[in-house]
Amino acid sequence: MEMTSNIQYTGDLSTSCNHLKSGTSISTDAPLDNNGKGETFSPTDLVATALASCMITVMGIKAEQDSIPFKQVSAHVLKVMSSDPRRISKIEVEMVVSEKWTEKQRVIMERTGLNCPVAKSLHQDLEQAIKFTYK
């Protein structure tokens, strides 16, 4: 099985993460509330962001398969942390859709997004508060 990424500690509670297949990289930093500088995504920010990104990705795949318009879709993400143990307790995602979908298309697309691989991989104790807003 081919490796996905390499991560290198770069000091000051930061890492450089390299995607092996594409060669792209991202950096992480510890958040301000956990001894970091908050200069870029924290690892937990990436988890919360991955949920919305995964939802949009699988919805895009479904849109292509079913010829559903899918150019004006975005998401806003809020990550909520708790302590003892320190963990993500809630991820709020507002999916903003500026497409003219029928009621049937809305049901198909919402169901697809809510069942993305990241959503299904997160622990059941992590609350996923997902809202779809149509403009």
**pLDDT band, very low/low/confident/very high, at 72 (cuts 50, 70, 90):** very high
Side-by-side strand order, sheet with 87-97: 73-82, 87-97, 127-134
> Measured between alpha carbons, how far is residue 64 from residues 56, 57, 59, 112, 114 in Å?
12, 11, 9, 13, 17
The average pLDDT across 7-36 equals 97
* Average per-residue pLDDT for the chain: 97
Mind listing the pLDDT tens digit for each residue in 104-125?
999 999 999 999 999 999 999 9
**Would you give the DSSP letter of residue 72?**
S
Q: For 43-134, CATH number?
A: 3.30.300.20
The whole-angstrom distance between residue 42's C-alpha and the CA centroid of its chain comes to 13
What residues does each domain of the chain span?
Answer: 5-34, 43-134
